[in-house]
Structure 1
Amino acid sequence: MKKLIAILVAGLAFTASLFADVPEFTDETAYVVDASVLPGNMKDNVVVTNVSSLAANFDITIFVYDEESKGWMIFGKGHIKDLGDVATIKSINKKMMKLANYKYFAIKPSADNPFTYSVAKGNNDLNVWIYDDREIDESHFKVFDLSMLPTFTDNLRVVAGENLRSAASFRILVYNDEADEEKSGTIAILTKPKDTKVFKTTAKGQKYNLFKYVKIISREEKDYKYTVNVAKNDLVITVNNQ
């Protein structure tokens, strides 16, 4: 069994010791997480986002651990097509198997690729991001000072420009001081020109207008052209190829 070190997209890490007592899951390709150590609430679905650029067309099975029977049960299944695809996995028995009733979850992809994971509670869901298990060069980034922009009150919008013709993923962080250890943010995946991703809050449930800086990091290990503005009370980041 492999134990997932749950890392919020925000960058808030939980050490492996927090998962030291998770129930055994015999399949070595599955990852187990103790959802009770994650801040926030969940009651609806498991939402899986594919941030892997190497894996496509694979199934995801979510298992839950039943404390009474001391065994694992299938909660639900979903399918991932390609980079940026999102699978909303609902309970196969909504009356008997409610998300909020379980502490331990196992995530099992059918793909043989080595993955790493991030997990967070948000929008009443258990959110899972799947990444390629490799080091990412995060030296390709841009920082914007939001105090130089007009005031915005609503959402963050990340938009693919006209010449962004291939799928790309970005890590977006917001913070008030570069020294902040617990920066907050999200992952945005753009798949085609004019593709738009809207985020109401960070992975930790904070409004984006509470922060002074926004940092956008290319996970494709290349430079892009970024523009930032405020439109319709939203903070808008537009991404184009250079």
Structure 2
Amino acid sequence: GVDAFKICSGDVTHLSLIRQVAGLGKTVMIDTGNSTLGEVERAADTVYSTGNNRLVIHHCPAGFPARLEEINLRVISTLKSMFDCPVAFSDHTPGWEMCIAAVALGADMVEKTVTLDRATRAPEHIVSLEPEEAKRMVKSIRDLEKALGSKRRVLTEEQLEERKKKMRSLFAKEDLLPGVKITEDNMNDCIEYRRPGDGIPACLDYLLLGRAPRCLVSKGRKLRWEDIGTLQ
């Protein structure tokens, strides 16, 4: 009645076992542990050879606790590029900081042991979380997932409104007379850059060069494109 089987790191090269387990059609989780990438690849190919595509690769640093310099979280990116399947992180460190970092680096799943009492005398208990800590870890990961957002840089409606207040537009620094051309020499005397940013953007000031106002633009007024004539 289980939904998945996990192959421990010591059995990654036990291909006949992996083939038999994969043949059951359930999800197969492969712990990488002390295995080489080549061994993990052969194990994955063995799962796929049975027609079972339900595979999860676990980046699983060895040790209780694992040494920080041997965790190599960036391997998560390597595994994701090598295998077309979810990649998990099995955490063997105290706390849950490494789980947060793993999710930020693209881990689809984290594995963390839970204990009722971390003082229990057994190797895994010292790197396990007690129930309330586990709840906080899950909340931290859910918050991170929201914060990660999208790879696309898209401004929200709130940001679009806020940028109008904070960006700068072009304003007349003095009365701008019709027919008097704006040049590089007089630009600083004619134009100033002020908020709000709902007029001609400050970054487009160069488009005024060689142009003259069509009509009088009073000092302090926000410039509009219809105020400006064509190049002269």
Aligning the two structures, in what range does the TM-score lie when normalised by the shorter sequence? under 0.3
Larger strand share, 1 or 2: 1
Larger helix share, 1 or 2: 2
- Larger RCO: 1 or 2 (CA < 8 Å, sep 6+): 1
Larger Rg: 2
| TM-score for both structures, normalised by structure 1 | 0.23
| TM-score for both structures, normalised by structure 2 | 0.24
